[in-house]
Structure 1
Amino acid sequence: MSRFDHRKYTPIQPIHKPDRRWPNRVIEAAPQWCSVDLRDGNQALIEPMSPEQKLEMFEMLVDVGFKQIEIGFPAASQTDFDFVRKLITEQRIPDDVTIQVLTQARKPLIERTYESLKGASRAIVHVYNSTSTVQREQVFKMSREQIKQIAVDGATWVGEGAARQPETDWQFQYSPESFTGTEVDYAVEVCNAVIDVWQPTSDKKCIINLPATVEVATPNVYADQIEWFCEQVSRRDSVIVSLHTHNDRGCGVAASELGVLAGADRVEGTLLGNGERTGNMDIVTMGMNMYSAGVDPELDFSHMDRIINVVEKCTQLKVHPRHPYAGELVFAAFSGSHQDAINKCLAQYQEGETWEVAYLPIDPRDLGRNYQQVIRINSQSGKGGVAYVLEQEHAIKMPRWLQVDFSPVVQVFAEDCESEVTADQIVSLFEKTYIEPDNAIALKSYQVNRESGLDAMQAVLVANHAEHPIQGEGRGVLEAFVSGLNRHTQHDIVIIEYDEHTLGHDDASEAIAYVQVSVNAQRVCGVGRSRDILGATFIAILNALARAENINAMRLSA
């Protein structure tokens, strides 16, 4: 028998529901959103986020517009406990944002959870226990009644803990973990027992969260389960039905969308889908799906490069170039016929009109991208050949994204001179384009200090024969430099890509740094050389800024 044998798996049996209504509905308004990037997204990492990374992620989630953010599992981790305390004691939680914390239905953990939340103005306490058939029978070896009693006890302890801290505005949330692997009638039975303990009202609702902890069926099956649950659960007008889907079958977004059609009020997920196994539901994708259909997601994704930058830095996971909406290449057309169709549509498009452009479901500018990134030349041999010559002849190791940027420059040069381009011509063109652009600001000096966990830097720039001092702070030297540069130039500069190496093998060798930055939503590359890598990187950023300004000046003159 083949080891690849499908007969070892049991087909999922859908519930009998001939009166389903969700297929005839459309999403017309955003659900309540809750980010779990700092819990599910953090626990899924090989190296969990540091406190500094967690804070940066939290602040970015607030800026995007999340009003509910699950910030950790304080009873299970001292790092999470300390982070909760930091947000509360340092008053970093905006008045319109509610923090959420997770705890198992165990009394000592619940007590520890409330200890972490002392002084919070408002909070959601999220308690859970697993109810699935396989967990009951093989992991816990308990009966239905015993598992339900765990949930009831947990709900009771949660209520008692809140009563001891009445100064906080509490909301309770319960999750029957592995809801999709639980008999739906039993899931309702357990949730109703929890609701009976909490006695929610229409003015003081509780949250019942229904996790697809493991995605085991097609999204329509999940939607049937949600619709049936909404019909059967007690006190429906006092209950917020929430979804928490995973992506084991690649349908996490679809399951949440259909679950909202089926009656759910709230969705938990992570930005860009990071989470255990294949990940959590991707809120960027679901939100942008709504946006592309003319529905306000009530989240702001207009600075997508910043979101990607923070997520990649905090998770140490790269965003796939073909990731929906966010990926580097999702709006790029390499096919000639695609480029032609996009060009013709863009030539006819007028601001204020309904967006109808071939191959582009949304306007890239809505995410901080621009049309230059849409039409791109695809010449593998050209990129590879140029990169090979620069590395072999001059030790310049261009990263892939710089190869893509530089290849059209070489092609235009080759077409103009109508002859073979030599290695010296290529490096001269490279230097003129990226290392010595016209009107570049020079770096005269800089100094870096670390204070209170932040990097503070001062630098002196030279432009038009005048010196300009700048200063900035950040969670890293580059962030500090960009902060100071943004303040001085009134630009919005975000570092998207960065790479560096030395140009030799001894201590006297120069360093070279490559950057791709977004300058007021315009992506440009720059390269810098110096005796030290920080100086090279600062120069690369300044050169990229000069290129952006030169490109804009050329457009104006044209």
Structure 2
Amino acid sequence: MSNNDRVIIFDTTLRDGEQSPGASMTGEEKLRIAKALERLKVDVIEAGFAIASPGDFAAVKAVADNIKDSTVCSLARAVDADIERASEALAGANSGRIHTFIATSPIHMQYKLRMQPDQVIEQAVRAVTKARNLCADVEFSCEDAGRSEIDFLCRIIEAAIDAGARTINIPDTVGYAIPHQYADMIRQLLERIPNADKAVFSVHCHNDLGLAVANSLAAVVAGARQVECTINGLGERAGNAALEEVVMAIKTRQDLLKVHTRIETEHILSASRLVSGITGFPVQPNKAIVGANAFAHESGIHQDGVLKHRETYEIMSAQSVGWNANKMVMGKHSGRAAFRSRLEELGIVLLAEGELNAAFARFKELADKKHEIFDEDLQSLVSDALAEDVQEHFKLVALDVASKTGQVPDAKLVLSVDGQEQPASGQGSGPVDATFKAIESVANSGATLQLYSVNAITKGTDSQGEVTVRLEKGGRIVNGNGADTDIVVASAKAYLNALNLMKIGAKAHPQVSGV
């Protein structure tokens, strides 16, 4: 196939994905995910919104400075300050892109921007011109294009291309589009805009009606050649088009779609697990491609068919997206070199010596508890080790829980609070509830528990449990994560991790609504 048949994969996990309530990532975590995306051969990585905060700027800069095989992008509103800040953050990029946007739907122009259509076009042209003078690669998005008038879209897009935009994004910002209608919009834009041949047309679909992937693929058939998506479909509200679903649909149905991507699909599963572990958003078992049941067969008829010929019930192989029987057959006597080597095979290459030592120590502890260490355990070990780099105001020192039939569960803890050990105790309806109440007897956080979720990392009764705790206080939401073979210990770690993240302080985000 020619380059005209290649679909550019634009991943916005680090930007739109992070806008999911509770999914905020540290700069270190963003860099780990960016490395996984680079390994996956993602074409464009939207690393964040540089002007949002000093932390966001630093994260975009770190990704730009370290990623060499993917274009690194920063989002910017159509205002000078945003564009200049994005340019600064991308200064060290091997290949950088400024992605600027402005709303184009009547409802957004009237009620959000309070601008006339001609004013919106003027501001868009000014923004694209400014960005083009600072960066060779500029993308322009028509926010809420799915509810915009086609005639106005033609006018503003033609002007943006004339001003220097070489990628034009047509986002279905609120997930309103239906596949055949969305495809017709893309087709009309390509036919009616005189200079459409000078830009790549892109789509960014939200999943409010469960149609993000379907809309994206319909747009590709209509001529779009960039799809904006996220790992696991992460994103605000119902999320975005899932990268793994878009890519595998293109790969599996090349006979019909007649396009391709450069994604190395065997790394999809490891990227999915990394994002899930860092954000604390578990992947549902029946999730396409990366769910635990995606390639499982229970029906006897199905099992018989697959054993005789895989393609009777499987349209793609599990190995093609990274499912395999990989496990580290290592134990307490295994060495640091083998440990580091396996991490590198999994794409975990960001560990400094101190971080490696912390992760290796956790590996040794786990090897005493579990006979077999799986790749999923390693991802969790590293996340747990790096979580200690979060400014640890609270830290678990010791935990003793008593839970007996007919008696009220009781938890006794020793917490380190800014380096000073303090005892804590509490009673509750169960051992976890008692543990959380004991922690709060010292923390007095005033936060509300919004979510408590437990997932087994691997199979077996000796599996590590991965716990997600979501806390809310004053409108700010954080997710804390913890893992351990003891669920109560994992729960305490997750709660304390959430409290520590809450202590860091809220991030001021200027984006009123996402692209």
With the shorter chain as reference, the TM-score category is 0.5 to 0.7
CA distance in 2, matches of 1:50, 1:296: 33
Cross-structure match for 2:279: 315
- Cα distance per residue 1:261-284 (max 9 Å; x no partner): 111111111111101111111110
Q: Give, in angstroms, the shift of residue 299 of structure 1.
A: 1.0
- Cα distance per residue 1:116-174 (max 9 Å; x no partner): 233434311111110101112222332211222221221232234x1xxxxxx621111
CA distance in 2, matches of 1:326, 1:314: 16
Cross-structure match for 1:368: 322
Q: TM-score, normalised by structure 2?
A: 0.65
Cross-structure match for 2:8: 32
Asked if 1:93 is matched to 2:67, the reply is: yes
Alignment of 1:395-474 (within 5 A): 441-442=331-332, 473=356
* Rg comparison, structure with higher value: 1
DSSP 3-state at the match of 1:272: helix
C-alpha contact 1:516 1:525 (8 A) present in aligned 2: no
Asked if 1:137 is matched to 2:110, the reply is: yes
Structure 2 letter corresponding to 1:49 = M
CA distance in 2, matches of 1:122, 1:308: 25
C-alpha contact 2:39 2:267 (8 A) present in aligned 1: no
Cross-structure match for 1:336: 300
Asked if 1:49 is matched to 2:13, the reply is: no
C-alpha contact 1:497 1:516 (8 A) present in aligned 2: no
Deviates more, 1:272-281 or 1:188-197: 188-197
C-alpha contact 1:104 1:110 (8 A) present in aligned 2: yes
Aligned pair partner of 2:157 in 191, 202, 214? 191
- Cα distance per residue 1:517-542 (max 9 Å; x no partner): 5xxxxx777569xxxx99979xxxxx
5+ long unaligned stretches in structure 2: 337-349, 368-372, 385-397, 403-410, 414-454, 465-481, 487-515
Structure 2 letter corresponding to 1:46 = G
C-alpha contact 1:127 1:173 (8 A) present in aligned 2: yes
CA distance in 1, matches of 2:169, 2:281: 28
Structure 2 letter corresponding to 1:58 = A
Cross-structure match for 2:78: 105
Cross-structure match for 2:101: 128
DSSP 3-state at the match of 2:271: helix
Q: 1:126 to 1:340 in 2, by over 3 A?
A: same
CA distance in 2, matches of 1:185, 1:335: 53
C-alpha contact 2:45 2:73 (8 A) present in aligned 1: yes
C-alpha contact 2:161 2:198 (8 A) present in aligned 1: no
C-alpha contact 1:455 1:477 (8 A) present in aligned 2: no
Cross-structure match for 2:45: 69
CA distance in 1, matches of 2:48, 2:181: 30
Q: 1:526 to 1:455 in 2, by over 3 A?
A: farther
Q: Give, in angstroms, the shift of residue 190 of structure 1.
A: 0.8
CA distance in 2, matches of 1:195, 1:42: 29
C-alpha contact 2:266 2:322 (8 A) present in aligned 1: yes
DSSP 3-state at the match of 1:112: helix
Structure 2 letter corresponding to 1:93 = I
DSSP 3-state at the match of 2:203: strand
CA RMSD of aligned residues (A): 3.9
CA distance in 2, matches of 1:497, 1:129: 38
Aligned pair partner of 2:36 in 60, 68, 73? 60
Q: Give, in angstroms, the shift of residue 498 of structure 1.
A: 7.1
Asked if 1:325 is matched to 2:298, the reply is: no
Q: Give, in angstroms, the shift of residue 495 of structure 1.
A: 2.2
The structure whose RCO (Cα within 8 Å, separation 6+) is larger is 2
C-alpha contact 2:106 2:148 (8 A) present in aligned 1: yes
- Cα distance per residue 1:168-219 (max 9 Å; x no partner): x621111110001110110110111222222x7xxxxx11111111121311
Aligned pair partner of 1:212 in 172, 181, 188? 172
Cross-structure match for 1:252: 212
Cross-structure match for 2:476: none
Aligned pair partner of 2:199 in 228, 235, 239? 239
CA distance in 2, matches of 1:497, 1:345: 33
Aligned pair partner of 1:172 in 138, 150, 171? 138
Report how many aligned residue pairs link the two structures.
380
Q: 1:53 to 1:68 in 2, by over 3 A?
A: same
